[in-house]
Amino acid sequence: MRARTGKPIPWKAALAVAGLFALPAATLAAFAAASAQAPGAPGTGRLLHLGAMITAAYAGVLALHGVLADRRLRAQARELVDLRARERDLLHRLRDQRVRIDFLSAAREVSLILNQDVDFRTILGKVLGITSDLLGGKGTEEITLYLRAPENGHLVPRARRRETEVCFDLDPAETAPRIAASAFEHGRLIAAAGATALEAAVPLVADRELFGVLFARTSFDGDGEENAERARALTAHLEEFAKVVALAIKTPDLYTRAVEDALTKLSTKRHFHSQLELHTGLARRHGDPLSLIMVDIDHFKRINDTYGHLTGDRILRGVAEVIQQNLRRTDEAAYSAYRYGGEEMSVILPKTGMERAAEVAERLRKQIEARVFEGAGGESIRVTASLGVATLAPEMATLDDLVAAADAALYAAKEGGRNQVRRAGAPGSAPRVRVADGPAVPATRRVKARTVR
């Protein structure tokens, strides 16, 4: 004999249950048999009545036993429900602890990576890889780092990991997902979890400055309830992990090594080459114009020899500041400035043809000439600059051709008397150049300020 649970019932218990049901029936049958044998005997009715009473008593006992058994079953069912609830709670806590341990381990890994003497891209690639592992590590995750552009405050994609590949120098015109833009606008984590996928965007904040968003997308295997628990556990710890990532990105030395020249605060030459390559590819793909301006401070060696290198550094910083302040940036075309080397600087102008680029260069020249710089000894100093402009042409096989054309125009401006803008001639005819919109006008000496020429 087996119970409903499928387990065998002990034979003593089975015998007791059978006896409980068989005893009243046997008693009543015995009384009925006695009455049949002596139907008219005295006391026969009493025997039958007594048998009926005994049977009724047994029936009451059976009913009471059933009620008690039902209560026990209900109590056991409640205990079972409680045990299952406790089991779910323990599993929930265990899952949370495992996720927390994973996040703490990942944060430690990020901290260790920052102490390694490697470049920014390597560090950032490893950070994105660690984030991918946190989300499941199946190779289907997508993690994108968006940073706020200082010139217009828009989110610009800086790096992305997708299917184990990390890409840098993404299209700056790419629009951030709505969830990322919303997280940046409101300064808080926003997550959207479905039955099989999770999207989350968490703000990057360091030193009370909101400067970017970490956007993550991943898919799940398993049933809906399990996926929901996984998504909840991940989003619960993403904000803490994002703080570690934010500190890593905002580490001054790390950021300086990545894109910023320490003296001028312009982007580095290395970043210039990567951005020029990016914009050249975009220009050729979409058929847009692309121009380049090379800027060189006139007689910079004389400044150093006359006033000293501390003043020379001040002049470099001041000219870089003038360039940054006078670059117009719109949604359509974001210009960017770089320190190319020494006293030479460069400006990349996407979606900009020769005429417009020459106008920008002339505006920069005039602003540099008009600025009064203060030397290390308190001197008031004016300087001038020569500028060369070139525009990408189909005949240019490499990026070096565009840089060479702008350089040739720059040196033609110097040979032509300095403090002027020159445009590069047709490809293949360098160093042939022509003056932009009229002859160069020499700068005049200003009162109370010495002009270095």
Question: Cis omega (within 30 of 0) on the bond before 431?
Answer: yes
Please state the φ and ψ torsions of residue 368, each to the nearest 5 degrees.
-65, -45
The residue whose two tokens read 């150049």 is 433
Q: Which residue(s) pair with 449 in the sheet?
A: 446
> Per the structure block, which two tokens stand in for 431?
């160093």
Active site residue 343: yes
Sole residue written with tokens 């050249």? 280
Cα 140 to Cα 126: distance, rounded to the nearest angstrom:
17
Report the distance separating Cα 451 and Cα 380, nearest Å.
9
- The active-site residue out of 343, 362, 369, 415 is 343
* CA atoms of 217 and 354, how far apart (whole Å): 42
Give me the active site residues, please: 343
